[in-house]
Amino acid sequence: MTDIAAPGHQSTELDRVVIRFAGDSGDGMQLTGDRFTSASAVFGNDLSTLPDYPAEIRAPAGTLAGVSAFQVHISDHDILTPGDSPSVLVAMNPAALKANLHDLLPGGTLIVNSDAFEERNLTKAGYAENPLGDGSLKAFTVYEVPMTSLTVEATKPTGAKPRDAERSKNFFALGVISWMYTRPTEPTLEWIQSKFGNNQTVAEANTLAFKAGYNFGETAELFESNYQVKPAALEPGLYTQISGNVAVAYGLIAAGQLSKLPVFLGSYPITPASDILHELSRHKNFGVRTLQAEDEIAGVSSAIGAAFAGHLAVTTTSGPGIDLKSEAIGLAVSLELPLLIIDIQRGGPSTGLPTKTEQADLLLALFGRHGEAPVPIVAAKTPAHCFEATIEAARIALKYRTPVFLLSDGYLANGAEPWKLPDVATLPDIAVPFADGPNHDRGDGTREFWPYLRDPETLARPWAIPGTPGLEHRIGGLEKADGTGNISYDPANHEHMVRLRQAKVDGIADDIAPVELDDPDGPGGAPVLVVGWGSTYGTIAAAVRRVRARGLKVAQAHLIHLQPFPPNLEDILGRYDKVLVPEMNLGQLAFVLRGRYLTNAQSINKVQGLPFKAAEIESAIVQLLESNP
């Protein structure tokens, strides 16, 4: 395995490469990265991406705060993460260089837009000396390309003013990198046409800039070599590239189809969840209703109303929105109505780091409501897995008539990976029947409807929707008598209901997939078990691979269901003396495992708004392996 794309000769074959595009927020780095990714995807590489952008729409140009970056890992075999550290860094200005250089692997390739390294920008970035001249970049292979002026030159035929023409320089950079990694140019050229088609000047400028960059690579005798990363031998099938948020949106549309219910989304915009609302609102032809509510409370409340009315009801948000929705989620627990609550976690507390990733809302999802108000929790592990996880969450909500949390995070939301499209026909049927008649005998032979009479197996109550004659009923947040659903202040009934709501959630354990244990030596074979949840999956798996590559033994289990836990979890935990839980928080899952099973779970934590690097987890595993028991 080559970690670094070392400069070589004519055309070198690489098994993988990690490239980071970095520039000013206004430089279009996300677009550039995205395009490179798409071209690589269509080319057949396996890949994984990591966008990273500032909270401001456009932070001051040229400053560190304004730097926007996009990292992509492409490979000829299946990979699990966007890569710990790039081996190639494209830096469009000094600030981008400064903010990202420390991540570049020693010996890595650095391509800079030399035009941008003038005094003003250097000062803004806090450079006393121009790093291009002071020898501080010795450790890297540096290519200085005057991208701005070359772009202006190349786009002259469009007649655009230099200020406007400059804006195509990201396409110039894309061209250079596309040449360097022998990407096909057609998909990008086509995409430029379709994306900017309504503004031909811009389309033409971008096309010219892209071609100029590509040709620059080929003709300028600057680069010693270009590189090939062959298509990956992925499982055969039809693939598309998908981000977590789009996968959630597709998952919701799919869940609607699979349950034969109209989807209702009540939501309020918030980073990094808004894109689910955006995506869903484009698919009204599926009968999807999206309501941009006045706030998060109205978002979830309207969803509760829609659930009562018989829709597959959903609310999407991020941490601060979950805080606000807590009271209404408690109502949904009490009403026992199906409801999906989707939390795209971001850096907290409070407004925190809104555009960064974190997984610190697990305890909030578990416990963030007054009283005893248990709610099942499902967590997605990769961008594409968001699709499946969404359907699973919907399945549980519908079958058990309960609100269900789906946890994702900023990293999954915006990260992308190739997704082998499922055969729609094989997706599960998650339809549940509505109540259609009375269900209880009054004792005198006449029948009536009891809204809280339960299915003895699932403990779910009937879902009787308005429009059904004879099933009129009233429900509310006051404690209810089990069965009739009438208000009840009876002490024994309250205890019964509190325990019953918990039992209903606990009982779901029998209806979910057991957690998969990856231990080549069978359960208990390795001395250390790594348990994770959510977006750390790929990184943990990569770390586990690395540890095994060292000839050491380690087991991995990744939880999709956080409440209830899969029934085999306790047994698995019991088989390992050392349990390591990597989390992007201060140890939330670890705490729960300890409290639930008295397992001496140990934490490795990273709370930096950034995903773990495989190396970090690798070294924690190794350390634990080496520690005394």
Partner 1 sequence: MTDVSVPVTTKKDWTSDQEVRWCPGCGDYSILTAVQMLMPELGDTRENTVFVSGIGCSSRFPYYMNTYGIHSIHGRAPAVATGVAVARPDLSVWVITGDGDGLSIGGNHLIHALRRNVNLTILLFNNQIYGLTKGQYSPTSEVGKVTKSTPFGSIDHPFNPISLALGAEATFVARTHDMDRKHMQEVFRRAHRHRGAAFVEIYQNCNVFNDGAFDQILSKEARPTNLIPLEHGQPIRFGADHEKGVIVDGQGKARIVDVADVGEDAILVHDEQRAEPGLAFMLSRLATGPYEPTPVGVFRAVDRPTYGEEVQRQLVAAQERQGPGDLAALLRSGATWEV
Q: Taking CA 279 as the corner, what is the angle to CA 50 and CA 336, rounded to the nearest 5 degrees?
A: 105
Q: Contacting ligand TPP (CB under 6 A), which of 107, 187, 262, 269?
A: 269
Report if residue 352 touches ligand TPP, rule: CB under 6 A: no
Residues 469-498 contacting partner 1, CB under 8 A: 469-478, 486-487
Q: Contacting partner 1 (CB under 8 A), which of 2, 58, 228, 367?
A: 58
Residues 229-268 contacting ligand TPP, CB under 6 A: 268
Minimum CB distance to ligand TPP, residue 290 (Å): 15
> Cα 233 from chain centroid?
24
By beta carbon distance, the residue nearest ligand SF4 is 57
Report if residue 447 touches partner 1, rule: CB under 8 A: no
Give me the sign of the Cα torsion angle 486, 489, 491, 495. positive
**Which residue's CB is nearer to ligand TPP, number 198 or number 350?**
350
Could you tell which of ligand TPP, partner 1, a second copy, none binds residue 322, using a CB distance below 5 to 8 A set by kind?
a second copy
Per-residue mark of binding to ligand TPP, 312-341 (x: CB under 6 A): --------xx--x-----------------
Strand pairing class (263-267; 289-292): parallel
How many residues of this chain bind ligand SF4 (CB under 6 A)? 2
Residues 14-43 contacting partner 1, CB under 8 A: 38, 41-43
Q: Contacting ligand TPP (CB under 6 A), which of 18, 67, 72, 270?
A: 270
Minimum CB distance to partner 1, residue 309 (Å): 4
Contact 20, 84 (CB under 8 A): no
Contact 442, 411 (CB under 8 A): no
Minimum CB distance to partner 1, residue 238 (Å): 5
Residue 502 to residue 466: CA distance in whole angstroms: 28
Report if residue 270 touches partner 1, rule: CB under 8 A: yes
Contact 614, 543 (CB under 8 A): yes
Give me the sign of the Cα torsion angle 264, 266, 267, 272. negative
- Is the peptide bond between 272 and the residue preceding it cis, with omega within 30 degrees of 0? yes
Minimum CB distance to partner 1, residue 231 (Å): 7
Contact 582, 532 (CB under 8 A): yes
Residues 293-312 contacting ligand TPP, CB under 6 A: 296
**Which residue's CB is nearer to a second copy, number 223 or number 612?**
612
CA atoms within 13 A on the CB side of 422: 15
**Which residue's CB is nearer to ligand SF4, number 25 or number 359?**
25
Residue 13 to residue 181: CA distance in whole angstroms: 10
Report if residue 296 touches partner 1, rule: CB under 8 A: yes
Minimum CB distance to partner 1, residue 93 (Å): 15
Enumerate binding residues for a second copy (CB under 8 A).
54-55, 65, 318-320, 322-324, 326-327, 330-331, 333-335, 345, 347-354, 356, 358, 360-361, 363-364, 366-373, 476-479, 489, 491-492, 494-495, 498-499, 501-502, 585-586, 591-592, 594-596, 598, 600, 606-610
- Is the peptide bond between 349 and the residue preceding it cis, with omega within 30 degrees of 0? yes
Neighbouring-strand partners of residue 483: 452
Report if residue 414 touches partner 1, rule: CB under 8 A: no
Q: Contacting partner 1 (CB under 8 A), which of 181, 268, 449, 452?
A: 268
Q: Taking CA 392 as the corner, what is the angle to CA 572 and CA 593, rounded to the nearest 5 degrees?
A: 30
Using alpha carbons, select from 586, 522, 532 the residue that is nearest to residue 559.
532
Residue 29 to residue 71: CA distance in whole angstroms: 10
Could you tell which of ligand SF4, ligand TPP, a second copy, none binds residue 270, using a CB distance below 5 to 8 A set by kind?
ligand TPP
Structure token pair of residue 188: 């990008």
Report if residue 462 touches partner 1, rule: CB under 8 A: no
Residue 627 to residue 424: CA distance in whole angstroms: 48
Residue 336 to residue 480: CA distance in whole angstroms: 11
Could you tell which of a second copy, ligand TPP, partner 1, none binds residue 615, using a CB distance below 5 to 8 A set by kind?
none
Q: Give the max Cα distance, the chain.
A: 96
Contact 377, 403 (CB under 8 A): no
Contact 574, 390 (CB under 8 A): no
Could you tell which of ligand SF4, partner 1, a second copy, none binds residue 294, using a CB distance below 5 to 8 A set by kind?
partner 1
Residues 46-85 contacting ligand SF4, CB under 6 A: 57-58
Q: Which chain residues interact with ligand SF4 by CB under 6 A?
A: 57-58
